[in-house]
Protein backbone atom coordinates (compact mmCIF):
# COMPACT_ATOMS: atom_id res chain seq x y z
CA UNK A 1 0.00 0.00 0.00
CA UNK A 2 1.35 3.38 -1.00
CA UNK A 3 0.58 6.43 1.08
CA UNK A 4 0.91 9.80 -0.57
CA UNK A 5 0.92 13.19 1.02
CA UNK A 6 -1.86 15.56 0.07
CA UNK A 7 -0.99 17.89 -2.73
CA UNK A 8 0.42 21.23 -1.74
CA UNK A 9 -2.52 22.96 -3.39
CA UNK A 10 -5.06 20.93 -1.41
CA UNK A 11 -3.14 21.53 1.80
CA UNK A 12 -3.15 25.29 1.24
CA UNK A 13 -6.89 25.61 0.58
CA UNK A 14 -7.96 25.53 4.26
CA UNK A 15 -5.48 28.31 5.01
CA UNK A 16 -6.30 30.44 1.97
CA UNK A 17 -10.09 30.02 1.84
CA UNK A 18 -10.93 32.20 4.86
CA UNK A 19 -8.89 35.07 3.46
CA UNK A 20 -10.47 34.70 0.03
CA UNK A 21 -13.81 34.83 1.84
CA UNK A 22 -12.76 38.00 3.63
CA UNK A 23 -11.78 39.57 0.29
CA UNK A 24 -15.13 38.46 -1.23
CA UNK A 25 -17.07 39.79 1.76
CA UNK A 26 -15.31 43.17 1.78
CA UNK A 27 -15.43 43.46 -2.01
CA UNK A 28 -19.16 42.80 -2.14
CA UNK A 29 -19.67 45.17 0.80
CA UNK A 30 -17.87 47.90 -1.15
CA UNK A 31 -20.05 47.26 -4.20
CA UNK A 32 -23.27 47.64 -2.20
CA UNK A 33 -22.04 50.66 -0.23
CA UNK A 34 -20.93 52.47 -3.39
CA UNK A 35 -24.09 51.55 -5.32
CA UNK A 36 -26.45 52.52 -2.50
CA UNK A 37 -24.47 55.64 -1.64
CA UNK A 38 -24.57 56.82 -5.25
CA UNK A 39 -28.38 56.58 -5.32
CA UNK A 40 -29.47 57.60 -1.84
CA UNK A 41 -29.10 61.33 -2.57
CA UNK A 42 -31.69 61.26 -5.37
CA UNK A 43 -34.37 58.66 -4.70
CA UNK A 44 -36.61 60.02 -7.47
CA UNK A 45 -33.84 59.41 -10.02
CA UNK A 46 -33.41 55.89 -8.65
CA UNK A 47 -37.14 55.33 -9.18
CA UNK A 48 -36.90 56.65 -12.74
CA UNK A 49 -33.99 54.27 -13.38
CA UNK A 50 -36.09 51.28 -12.26
CA UNK A 51 -39.00 52.55 -14.36
CA UNK A 52 -36.74 52.72 -17.45
CA UNK A 53 -36.72 48.92 -17.54
CA UNK A 54 -40.46 49.01 -18.34
CA UNK A 55 -41.32 45.85 -16.40
CA UNK A 56 -43.76 47.25 -13.82
CA UNK A 57 -46.14 50.17 -13.32
CA UNK A 58 -44.55 53.57 -12.71
CA UNK A 59 -45.75 53.79 -9.09
CA UNK A 60 -44.27 50.39 -8.21
CA UNK A 61 -41.00 51.25 -9.96
CA UNK A 62 -40.63 54.50 -8.04
CA UNK A 63 -41.25 52.78 -4.69
CA UNK A 64 -38.77 50.01 -5.50
CA UNK A 65 -36.28 52.54 -6.80
CA UNK A 66 -36.58 54.60 -3.62
CA UNK A 67 -36.16 51.53 -1.37
CA UNK A 68 -33.31 49.95 -3.32
CA UNK A 69 -30.49 52.25 -2.10
CA UNK A 70 -31.39 51.49 1.52
CA UNK A 71 -31.39 47.74 0.86
CA UNK A 72 -28.00 48.05 -0.84
CA UNK A 73 -26.58 50.10 2.04
CA UNK A 74 -27.90 47.61 4.61
CA UNK A 75 -26.34 44.70 2.71
CA UNK A 76 -23.09 46.63 2.49
CA UNK A 77 -22.99 47.29 6.23
CA UNK A 78 -23.86 43.68 7.11
CA UNK A 79 -21.12 42.36 4.83
CA UNK A 80 -18.61 44.97 5.99
CA UNK A 81 -18.92 43.95 9.62
CA UNK A 82 -19.53 40.29 8.80
CA UNK A 83 -22.89 39.94 10.51
CA UNK A 84 -25.43 37.48 9.05
CA UNK A 85 -22.99 36.93 6.20
CA UNK A 86 -24.76 33.94 4.66
CA UNK A 87 -28.12 35.75 4.76
CA UNK A 88 -26.62 38.93 3.26
CA UNK A 89 -24.89 36.84 0.59
CA UNK A 90 -28.17 35.09 -0.23
CA UNK A 91 -30.07 38.35 -0.55
CA UNK A 92 -27.17 39.75 -2.60
CA UNK A 93 -27.28 36.76 -4.92
CA UNK A 94 -31.05 37.08 -5.39
CA UNK A 95 -30.77 40.81 -6.05
CA UNK A 96 -27.94 40.28 -8.53
CA UNK A 97 -29.97 37.65 -10.40
CA UNK A 98 -32.81 40.18 -10.64
CA UNK A 99 -30.37 42.84 -11.91
CA UNK A 100 -28.82 40.49 -14.49
CA UNK A 101 -32.28 39.41 -15.67
CA UNK A 102 -33.42 43.04 -15.90
CA UNK A 103 -30.38 44.09 -17.92
CA UNK A 104 -30.73 41.09 -20.23
CA UNK A 105 -34.43 41.87 -20.65
CA UNK A 106 -33.73 45.50 -21.53
CA UNK A 107 -31.07 44.37 -24.01
CA UNK A 108 -33.35 41.79 -25.65
CA UNK A 109 -36.18 44.31 -25.98
CA UNK A 110 -33.90 46.90 -27.59
CA UNK A 111 -34.18 49.48 -24.81
CA UNK A 112 -31.42 52.10 -24.69
CA UNK A 113 -30.99 52.66 -20.95
CA UNK A 114 -28.24 53.07 -18.40
CA UNK A 115 -28.64 50.30 -15.83
CA UNK A 116 -28.66 52.73 -12.91
CA UNK A 117 -26.45 50.37 -10.94
CA UNK A 118 -24.09 53.03 -9.62
CA UNK A 119 -26.09 56.19 -10.20
CA UNK A 120 -29.31 57.58 -11.45
CA UNK A 121 -29.59 55.54 -14.69
CA UNK A 122 -32.58 55.85 -17.00
CA UNK A 123 -32.94 56.55 -20.69
CA UNK A 124 -29.73 57.18 -22.63
CA UNK A 125 -29.29 60.28 -24.72
CA UNK A 126 -29.87 59.84 -28.45
CA UNK A 127 -26.88 58.29 -30.16
CA UNK A 128 -25.42 56.87 -26.95
CA UNK A 129 -25.12 53.08 -27.03
CA UNK A 130 -25.92 50.96 -23.96
CA UNK A 131 -23.19 48.72 -22.52
CA UNK A 132 -25.23 45.69 -21.51
CA UNK A 133 -22.65 42.92 -21.90
CA UNK A 134 -20.04 44.53 -19.60
CA UNK A 135 -22.79 45.23 -17.04
CA UNK A 136 -23.97 41.61 -17.12
CA UNK A 137 -20.40 40.29 -16.86
CA UNK A 138 -19.67 42.64 -13.96
CA UNK A 139 -22.80 41.50 -12.13
CA UNK A 140 -21.92 37.85 -12.79
CA UNK A 141 -18.59 38.53 -11.07
CA UNK A 142 -20.42 40.02 -8.09
CA UNK A 143 -22.74 36.99 -8.13
CA UNK A 144 -19.68 34.73 -7.91
CA UNK A 145 -18.56 36.62 -4.78
CA UNK A 146 -22.00 36.17 -3.23
CA UNK A 147 -21.96 32.47 -4.17
CA UNK A 148 -18.59 32.00 -2.49
CA UNK A 149 -19.98 33.57 0.69
CA UNK A 150 -23.09 31.39 0.55
CA UNK A 151 -20.85 28.32 0.64
CA UNK A 152 -18.16 29.64 3.01
CA UNK A 153 -19.62 32.54 5.03
CA UNK A 154 -17.25 32.41 8.01
CA UNK A 155 -14.31 34.72 7.57
CA UNK A 156 -11.69 36.28 9.82
CA UNK A 157 -12.43 39.63 11.40
CA UNK A 158 -16.20 39.32 11.36
CA UNK A 159 -18.98 39.62 13.90
CA UNK A 160 -20.21 36.17 12.85
CA UNK A 161 -16.83 34.76 13.87
CA UNK A 162 -16.76 36.57 17.19
CA UNK A 163 -20.29 35.42 18.01
CA UNK A 164 -19.33 31.83 17.21
CA UNK A 165 -16.17 32.13 19.32
CA UNK A 166 -12.85 32.62 17.61
CA UNK A 167 -11.35 31.27 15.50
CA UNK A 168 -14.31 31.48 13.07
CA UNK A 169 -12.33 30.02 10.17
CA UNK A 170 -11.78 26.44 11.32
CA UNK A 171 -15.27 25.08 10.58
CA UNK A 172 -14.87 23.79 7.02
CA UNK A 173 -18.31 22.16 6.83
CA UNK A 174 -20.42 25.27 7.25
Give residue-wise pLDDT tens across range 95-138.
Answer: 999 999 999 999 999 999 998 898 878 888 777 888 999 999 99
Q: What is the pLDDT of residue 47?
A: 94
Taking 70 as the pLDDT cut, the residues of the chain under it are 1-7, 166-174
For residue 163, CA distances in Å to 76, 83, 159 come to 19, 9, 6
The model's pTM: 0.87
Q: What is the pLDDT of residue 1?
A: 65
Amino acid sequence: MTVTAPSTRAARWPAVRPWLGTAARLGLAAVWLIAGGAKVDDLAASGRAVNAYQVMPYDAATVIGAALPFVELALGVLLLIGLATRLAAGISAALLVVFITGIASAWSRGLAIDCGCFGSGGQLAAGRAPSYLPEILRDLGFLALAGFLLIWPRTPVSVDGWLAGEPPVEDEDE
